[in-house]
Each structure stands twice: as C-alpha cells, then as structure tokens.
C-alpha cells in the first residue's frame, strides 16, 4: 500500500492514495490549556486517532489515542546521527530508522515492513511517501509522517 502525505499548512495534512483520492486528513485543534490536539480523520470526516505532544525540545514525544486510550507512545530517540523515532504500543513496537531524515525504514517488532520517504515539492514544501506491506497496514500509519514532519520538518528542506 502506498500513501502520500501532503502538508497543507497550519498543522493540517491531506493523505492521498496512488489514484489521487483523498483517503485521510489531519487537522489540528487548539486547546485552552496545553498542547494542540492533532486528529486523523477518514475520508468521510470520522475522527480515527488523536495525537498530543507530551514533550518539546530537541527530542519531542507524543501520545497517540484511540477512543481516549493511549495506543502508541512516541519518542524521538535520535535527531542527527542515525535518526530514529520509536512507537511503543501494547500490541507492537514500531520504529522509524534511517541514515538520513528524508529516508526511514518502518520496522515492526524489529522486522522491516515498509518505507517513509520525504520528497521536496516544487513549492519547497515536503511531501511524505509511505509504502507499507498491506498485511501490516493500520489507519494510524499516516500519523508516522506527521511525527516526522514535527520532529524533522525543517531538516528535510
């Protein structure tokens, strides 16, 4: 399965498939207190997953929620030398690792299952391409590209 994640500004993203159909969208809603909530919606607008930044700074961290329950804890492990982001959940552990911030291998329980590549569009904005084996795909994978954008966004240009 292949998806393309396109930033549209102000923390919003459109996710399209290989036939240029919008299959997901990501929006950001500001809270009165604390960090904004980033929400992944399906094509019909139904909210699937929410994400909140729990730590800022050089190694940010996030929590990804499903129905109010944390399903993944995300931690940026390394910013420059062998960039790495860990996604720890109750069922599985995922990891994005690479030699550069524009090319990550997606691993599930230490086994490679796909790739997340960053390309620069003609307007200078990044475009994230997720390629993953169909049998491992889950709806939260577009949020992996959002996390990469939030951690390394300025470094991929």
Which pLDDT tens digit goes with each residue over 98-142? 998 899 999 999 999 999 999 999 888 899 999 999 999 999 999
pLDDT tens profile 54-94? 998 889 999 999 999 999 999 999 887 889 999 999 888 99
Q: Which residues in 93-121 are b (16+ Cβ under 10 Å) and which e? A: ebbbbbeebbebebbbeeeebbbbebeee
String of DSSP letters for 2-42: EEEEEEEETTEEEEEETTS-EEEEEEEE--SSSSPEEEEEE
Q: Which residues pair with 25 in a beta bridge?
A: 14, 41
Domain count, the chain: 1
Give the domain CATH number at 8.
Answer: 2.40.160.200
* pTM, two decimal places: 0.92
Range of 100's domain?
2-155
């Amino acid at each position: 399965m292949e998806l393309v994640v396109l930033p549209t500004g102000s923390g919003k993203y459109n996710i399209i498939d290989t036939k240029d159909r919008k299959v997901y969208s990501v929006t950001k809603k500001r809270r009165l207190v604390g960090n904004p909530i980033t929400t992944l919606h399906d094509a019909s607008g139904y909210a699937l997953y929410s994400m909140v930044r729990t730590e800022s700074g050089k190694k940010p961290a996030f929590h990804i929620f499903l129905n109010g329950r944390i399903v993944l804890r995300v931690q940026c492990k390394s910013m420059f030398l062998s960039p790495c982001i860990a996604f720890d959940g109750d069922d599985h552990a995922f990891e994005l690792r690479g030699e550069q911030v524009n090319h990550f291998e997606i691993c599930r329980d230490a086994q490679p299952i796909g790739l997340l590549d960053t390309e620069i569009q003609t307007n200078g904005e990044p475009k994230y391409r997720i390629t993953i084996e169909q049998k491992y795909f889950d709806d939260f994978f577009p949020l992996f590209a959002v996390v990469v954008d939030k951690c390394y966004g300025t470094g991929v240009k």
